[in-house]
Amino acid sequence: MIREDANQQSRSTFENEIGDVLMRKELKSHIGVQLFALWILAEFLAYNQGCFLMHMGFFFPLKLFVLHLEQNAQAFDQSSANFAAFKNSEVGGQRLAVAYVLSHELSRLDHGFLIKPWSAMMARGEVPVIDMQRVEGLAEEIVNACEEWGIFRIINHGIPAELLTEMKAVVAALFDLPEEIKRRTVSTESGKGYITFNPSTPYLEGFSIDEVSSPGDFCDPLDASPHQREIIYKYINVIRDLAGLLGRKLMEGFGLAGDLFDGWNCQMRFNKYHFCQESVGSCGVFLHSDPSFLTILHDDDDVCGLQVVDKYTGEFTPVDPVPGTIAVNMGDIAKAWSNGRFCNVKHRVWCFEPKTRYSTVLFVLGPNDKKVEAPPELVDSEHPRLYVPIDIKEYRNARSAKRLHTGNTLSYLAPPRHE
Ligand SMILES: O=C(O)CCC(=O)C(=O)O
Ligand SMILES: [Fe+2]
């Protein structure tokens, strides 16, 4: 019955999420601590609020059940095949369906008094905000943010506020075009061009443009006016320069010289989230890490939604918009290049309010003509090489094939061990 109730599409999104989370060994070590902290805090709050019965009868068993499910999954190793077998089995399917409904209820409760103070207590505060015009210690601050959070916001980034506003207007106008015109933005590669609503992201539509790393006619597939093109080119120019600066700072932060992203392939993506009353309390984009090296995100100044997983607590932390700032985050390739030091931050977009949300994203993917590997300076006897050299296209294909969206594909790329 419950199984039938659970919406099939959101369920597969949920399964992706929970599947990836369950397969992350690091998170599991926190379960005991979470359970204990939750119990103490919930007892305290429930007692104070005079709703002990509700707490005992509803909330606590609910959380216990989800934790029980997580522990069950510890029996499974990191292979998606095993997870699929679990999911497809009678008992596994039922558990996931029930857990889906329960976790949905839990996330609704997240707005209430029970979980919020607990999350706040466990969390490390806000993601760092870095002033790009800081004269001393900028490179070290960036590297530190990449290691600790895998995401940070930047101010004084050199992108004029008017350009950010103009760009948002252009993006909105492109999405306002009739469906048949948007569909003309095609690409031979899947996931590129115009991306319409799909079952795992039913509120999201997007445009994805590849090869924006150097000036060119990459706007041609878009039905954009000359004025709109001018703004897009201007925006991409400044954002590409910003990416270059960040690449140099990452090198400097490790005591290395050079232009890290010189000649690397970049991709642009525009997102429109059709958040409405029905979508409140569900995902705009499900939990993932970016398969790229670095992401520069201009999120919507007016609508929140981005959440990242705190690597220490496993809790979702909001990355609320701060007008005029840009967010920068690390992807899987950055983790590989830094020999495991950078955090390929897991994130999702959550719908909190029925308001249309736009975002403009530049992905620095990696080099086209060579593989990515950690520089020798980041490898020594205490920090042995964690990954074989990676071809970015092969990596993306492997990631899609394995349906591992939160970076677990990296664990298949350990170099052979010499006994
Ligand atoms: O829209 C956002 O804020 C984030 C989008 C995102 O994570 C992505 O496109 O990879
Ligand atoms: Fe992302």
Q: What is the pLDDT of residues 112-124, one digit of tens each?
A: 334 433 444 445 6
Mean pLDDT of the chain: 80
Mutation choice for ligand 1 from 294, 349, 360, 396, CB with most ligand atoms inside 8 A: 349
Query: What would the pLDDT profile of 371-388 be if each residue is shown by its tens digit?
Result: 999 999 999 999 999 999
- Binding-site residues, ligand 1, Cβ < 6 A: 269, 271, 285, 290, 297, 299, 306, 347, 349, 359, 361
Mutation choice for ligand 1 from 168, 266, 271, 286, CB with most ligand atoms inside 8 A: 271
The yes-or-no verdict on residue 82 having pLDDT over 50 is no
The yes-or-no verdict on residue 27 having pLDDT over 80 is no
Query: What would the pLDDT profile of 312-359 be if each residue is shown by its tens digit?
Result: 888 899 999 999 999 999 999 999 999 999 999 999 999 999 999 999
Distance 281 CA to ligand 2 centre (A): 19
Distance 97 CA to ligand 2 centre (A): 26
What whole-number percentage of the chain has pLDDT above 70? 68
Residue with the larger pLDDT of the pair 66 and 76: 66
Structure tokens, 268? 């642009």
Mutation choice for ligand 1 from 151, 300, 306, 406, CB with most ligand atoms inside 8 A: 306
Let me know if 194 is exposed, middle or buried by CB neighbors in 10 A (0-12, 13-18, 19+). buried
- For the chain, domains (ranges, CATH) are 2-122 (no CATH), 129-413 (2.60.120.330)
Write down the pLDDT at residue 368. Answer: 86
Query: What would the pLDDT profile of 277-287 be if each residue is shown by its tens digit?
Result: 999 999 999 99
Residue range 61-81: mean pLDDT, rounded: 47
pLDDT bin (cut points 50, 70, 90) of residue 126 is confident
Write down the pLDDT at residue 7. Answer: 40
Which residue, by CA, sits nearest to atom 9 of ligand 1?
A: 361
Which of 47-56, 80-89, 296-305, 324-333 has the lowest average pLDDT?
80-89
The yes-or-no verdict on residue 9 having pLDDT over 50 is no
Per-residue b/e over 79-103, b at no fewer than 16 CB within 10 Å?
A: ebeebeebbeeeebeebbbbbbebb
Q: Please give the C-alpha separations between residue 86 and each of 19, 73, 81, 392, 418, in angstroms, as whole numbers.
A: 10, 8, 9, 30, 34
Write down the pLDDT at residue 49. Answer: 57
The yes-or-no verdict on residue 103 having pLDDT over 50 is no
Write down the pLDDT at residue 112. Answer: 38
Structure tokens, 194? 């115009």
Structure tokens, 162? 């008017």
Q: Cβ distance 26 to 410 under 8 Å? A: no
Residue range 215-221: mean pLDDT, rounded: 74
* 3-class secondary structure per residue, 62-118: HHHHHHHHHHHHCCCCCCHHHHHHHHHCHHHHHHHHHHHHHHHHHHHHCCCCCCHHH
The yes-or-no verdict on residue 13 having pLDDT over 70 is no
Residue range 415-419: mean pLDDT, rounded: 74
Residue with the larger pLDDT of the pair 5 and 306: 306
The yes-or-no verdict on residue 417 having pLDDT over 80 is no
Write down the pLDDT at residue 190. Answer: 62
The model scores a pTM over 0.80 = no
Closest CA to 235 of 292, 293, 168, 182: 168
Write down the pLDDT at residue 173. Answer: 97
Write down the pLDDT at residue 319. Answer: 95
